[in-house]
Structure 1
């Protein structure tokens, strides 16, 4: 006897039970989708911030590739040919071979007029140890890119002058200067007393031959006291009584000066595309290194930063955290940091880099000599008390 039976094929198998989708689940799914879309849109929207990142470094003892404007041997299609020229070139005095590198450091800034950054970049910058994020107006102000470039170029020109005067003075040269008043600082004791075009000839009865003479004449003056400033005005000598104000570590005259220096040695500094004033200390050290017979660095790679005044004072700069990372990226083992930036240095030194605290050009010179001689263990740091 045979029996017929139904055979269930896979296609005939019963469908597993699926619970109905609740309105809450639908709402949650739509919310997650909208959130993801919104986050994606926000990540590509411009943000009102600027990012500072480690910029390029330049060896002040090395060569700079500079276009000479002529066609290269391979034809005009290759553009202008390039010539390697010294970043710091000295004529009129014996120079000596150097080894090692003195690297000036820079900061690259992104954002600002015509260069908006995205929110995704901002988020990445917030979590980066090498970058910093700030409101765009704190980094760029309200100037146009052209105005910013003009300011940076003017600062670089002034920095080159101050570095040259300070370096030559450190080496024992006298650098005569003609100090002409450009204007009085508004609200200062000089306002209404000095006039544009006045040429400073003496201070407190002591002749002013160099810029250092003027600054030295203010060293013993208490801010707020009067000082007699001898000037030449319209070909005639006059004594002016100026009430001083508070300056950077000394009394201030409250005048803007246009100095002209009579350099005993011809120094040409080529900063390339770099602007600003923070390379002054490294430029001054490069001049000293080339004009002294001893090879101070002896092969060491030292980076650094800091403004330089004509009397050899190292001043603070911005973006030092980014400069530290730029230095170690470009193989520097040592970094010369202004003492006034030490609070920003502590806790932000990358592995492989040793930071030396400096306040004057003499400090910086001693540090370089100690590093080159292998005697740098006792150099002051941003955390030491020495």
Structure 2
């Protein structure tokens, strides 16, 4: 008899009458042990840190909208206007930095993802730098980019933005080294006043490298004229070899609220958002336009990192258009997601023209990254 069949009316068996459990076979023991060991090893591998950094598409934010109930751009001192479109800044999500190691599972996922990139951690994060230091640096760059974007946007709209042009240092090897001093204040160029940064940019644009110009500086309460031989800057144009730390007197108060994103690469989209809000036209007119690019006070759009991840994030979040820095075009070609159209921009004016053309449905002739990229305008200095 193999077992005992109990009827519902039969009394229960005593403990010593219960059938003995069948012992596990050696094969079953081996299989169970192997499964437990494999599960334990897998759990360890999932969380085990690796010497790699993984960059993936991060969140996007509409600079014309709100984040956590707060408008991303608030303006006072001027009339503002609503928009029916979206202007989305784009980001990159990264693991592998101090305190946020990449797991083996994350690295494997990155290797098999077309929109992620896996790099040795030392190529992404400098050694002996804490996460706190990285966060502080990213936040400082974000704050600076917001100010530069505001100045560039207001200047693009025709506002005068007065500035105090403080000399923070000079470039080694230029004629200005040894002539201009730290904490000098630039107040004149060839006998004409310098009321703002744009005036210095315009004055330098009319100078050829090798020309001698006379700078007027305030030094210890006195005006001093300093002749300086200009030199050629990288990218073309003349430079005076001076590092300038400007302080701006904004004619319009602009507050940008974004606490969970750092770095300077949102400058172009912030500048476009300010322009959109301060103009009565509905430039985007219902279109979803994403983009990236640093922005300096002269309106030059600078290159950024992670362009491929940002393209993927833009497409994922519903953008139909993407504004890409001209100097990132070599990384864009061949990596544009289906359904996303990329427009090449080198200046804020380029980006504004593109935004208006897209909203008006007249974007067919906008420059793309498959065409020869224009050289971005040089900056003052």
Correspondences of 1:24-173 after superposition (within 5 Å) = 45-65=48-68, 84-142=69-127, 143-173=129-159
Aligned mates of 1:266, 1:39 — CA distance in 2: 55
Deviations 1:136-162 (A, max 9, x none): 122121322111112111211111111
2:257 to 270, 281, 286: 270
TM-score by length of 2: 0.82
1:329 to 295, 300, 316: 316
Aligned mates of 2:229, 2:134 — CA distance in 1: 34
SS of equivalent to 1:201:
strand
Deviations 1:263-287 (A, max 9, x none): 1111111122111111111011111
2:216 to 206, 230, 246: 230
Q: In the alignment, does 2:302 pair up with 1:315?
A: yes
Aligned mates of 1:202, 1:281 — CA distance in 2: 30
Aligned mates of 2:235, 2:248 — CA distance in 1: 23
Aligned in 2, Cα 1:226/1:52: closer, same or farther, shift over 3 Å?
Answer: farther
Aligned mates of 1:227, 1:38 — CA distance in 2: 70
Once the two structures are overlaid, the 10-residue window that deviates more, 111-120 or 314-323, is 111-120
SS of equivalent to 1:140:
coil
Structure 2 unaligned residues grouped into runs of 5+: 1-39, 374-381
Aligned in 2, Cα 1:41/1:86: closer, same or farther, shift over 3 Å?
Answer: closer
TM-score by length of 1: 0.81
Aligned in 2, Cα 1:330/1:222: closer, same or farther, shift over 3 Å?
Answer: same
Once the two structures are overlaid, the 10-residue window that deviates more, 160-169 or 216-225, is 216-225
Aligned in 2, Cα 1:360/1:111: closer, same or farther, shift over 3 Å?
Answer: same
SS of equivalent to 1:53:
strand
Once the 2 structures are TM-superposed, how far is the Cα of residue 39 of structure 1 from its aligned partner? 10
SS of equivalent to 1:191:
coil
Aligned counterpart, 1:292: 279
- Cα root mean square deviation, aligned: 2.4
Aligned in 2, Cα 1:272/1:43: closer, same or farther, shift over 3 Å?
Answer: closer
Q: In the alignment, does 2:291 pair up with 1:304?
A: yes
